[in-house]
Amino acid sequence: MAWVKALAPEASSYGDAYDRFGLFGGETPAVMAHCVWSDEKEIRLMKERGVYIAHCPQSNMNLSSGIAPVKRYMEAGLLLGLGSDVAGGCHLSIFRAMLEAMQVSKLLRHMTEGAPKPLTIGEVFYMGTKGGGSFFGKTGSFEPGYDMDALVMDDRAIRTVRRPTPLERLERLICLSEQWTLTAKYVRGQRIL
């Protein structure tokens, strides 16, 4: 952030530096990663320009530069997705990113007075599917008109003594992602696995 401020001292924020060169949404689609220190002015600018936020929770932990207040961005109506951040992370699993997004939001809530409630299973699932997928068009949902992108998973290896609800099964798949088996993968309706 200091380097960008030195390059564009007239900019009021990191996002404003990009905006001054036409690189911050609008006609030029943009994704802003991390957003750990975005202030109200930058949040408004991201919303006005339709800039997406890629929340990379493992990077928040590994770089230790702060925790993105994702729920605050959600409440402000910003466009959100999840990322694994190959440089600041150590995995590519979107399911693990979902779990870690919930975990860091709990830490933020615990460590910061006035922080919003932690993220829910539904919110992180949205971010990891339709939220981030919308950057690429109509993907990330089973709604009519969307590309048919899907994973078929077998969760029988995750033992339980009772019959879980669909939401409980989803939660178990996210939290125990290494225990289920991927049986098929579809991209735009074509089976690729």
Q: In what order do the strands lie in the sheet with 52-55?
A: 31-33, 52-55, 79-82
**Domain assignment present for 143:** no
Residues 14 and 83 in one domain: yes
- Residue 191 CA to residue 182 CA, distance in Å, equals 13
Report in angstroms the alpha-carbon separations of 101 from 8, 33, 127: 32, 14, 10
Model pLDDT, residue 89: 81
Whether residue 142 is contained in a domain is answered as no
Tokens matching residue 50? 């339709």
Residues 81 and 107 grouped into a single domain: yes
Q: What is the total count of domains within the chain?
A: 2
**Does one domain contain both 130 and 159?**
no
Give the residue ranges of DSSP H helices in the chain.
2-7, 14-19, 40-49, 57-63, 70-75, 94-111, 121-126, 132-133, 166-175
Residues 154 and 129 in one domain: no
pTM as predicted: 0.92
Same domain, 130 and 189: no
Q: Domain with 129 in it: what CATH number?
A: 3.20.20.140
The reply to whether 178 falls in a domain is: yes
- Domain assignment of residue 187, yes or no: yes
Structure tokens at 32: 């802003």
82 shares a domain with 23? yes
pLDDT at position 58 is 93
User: The domain containing residue 121 runs over which residues?
Assistant: 2-136
Say if residue 177 is in the same domain as residue 132. no
Do 126 and 83 lie in one domain? The reply is: yes
pLDDT at 30: 96
Residue 7 within any structural domain of the chain: yes
126 and 178 share a domain?
no
CA 181 – CA 183 distance, rounded (Å) = 6
Q: 183 and 103 share a domain?
A: no
Rounded mean pLDDT for each run of 10 residues along the chain, 193 residues in total: 88 93 92 93 97 95 92 96 85 94 96 93 97 95 95 91 92 91 96 97
Rounded CA-CA distance 16/163 in Å is: 51
Same domain, yes or no: 161 and 98: no
